[in-house]
Amino acid sequence: MNHKIHDVGVAKQIGTYSDAIEVAPDMRWLYTAGTPGLAADGTVPADITGQAEIAWQHIMAMLKKADMGVHDLVKITQYLLNANDIPAYAKVRSRYLGDARPASMLMIVPGLVWPNMLVEIEAVAAKR
């Protein structure tokens, strides 16, 4: 990670993220919108794995446009419609994050902006 990690023993019991991330002054910041698995051609895959894959590709593309990468991530927030989708979602996320460990939040919500969306991801990243 390109930021300072402050762990207190919670995250390590739940997943591969950090309890808290400290960001130094004088950084550029990137805030993404809530990002669903909506492809460039307007399609949304029917399953969580397909949607998570496209959503993470979008997050990677936004980081790259800001000349940032996964180790610049400070915080990710993940909105899922179904708790049963957590394991499949987490598998996709791991593939994109590698050993990066942003602070994370995952919650179940009853609905997102379109009824067919199963997941949205938000990211906050910072880099000098």
Judged by CB under 8 A, the residue of 45, 53, 62, 71 near a copy of itself is 62
Q: Does 100 bind a copy of itself (CB under 8 A)?
A: no
Judged by CB under 8 A, the residue of 91, 95, 98, 108 near a copy of itself is 108
Backbone angles phi, psi at 105, to 5 degrees: -135, 135
Instruction: Give residue 106's identity as a one-letter amino acid code.
Output: L
End-to-end Cα distance, the chain: 14
Q: Would you state the torsion angle of the CA atoms of residues 107, 112, 117, 123, taken in this order, to the nearest 10 degrees?
A: -60
As a whole number of angstroms, the distance between CA 21 and CA 49 comes to: 28
Q: Does 40 bind a copy of itself (CB under 8 A)?
A: yes
Q: Does 21 bind a copy of itself (CB under 8 A)?
A: yes
Binding residues for a copy of itself, rule: CB under 8 A, are: 4, 6, 8-11, 13-15, 17-36, 38, 40, 42, 58, 61-62, 65-66, 74-75, 77, 79, 83, 86, 103-115, 120, 122, 124, 126, 128
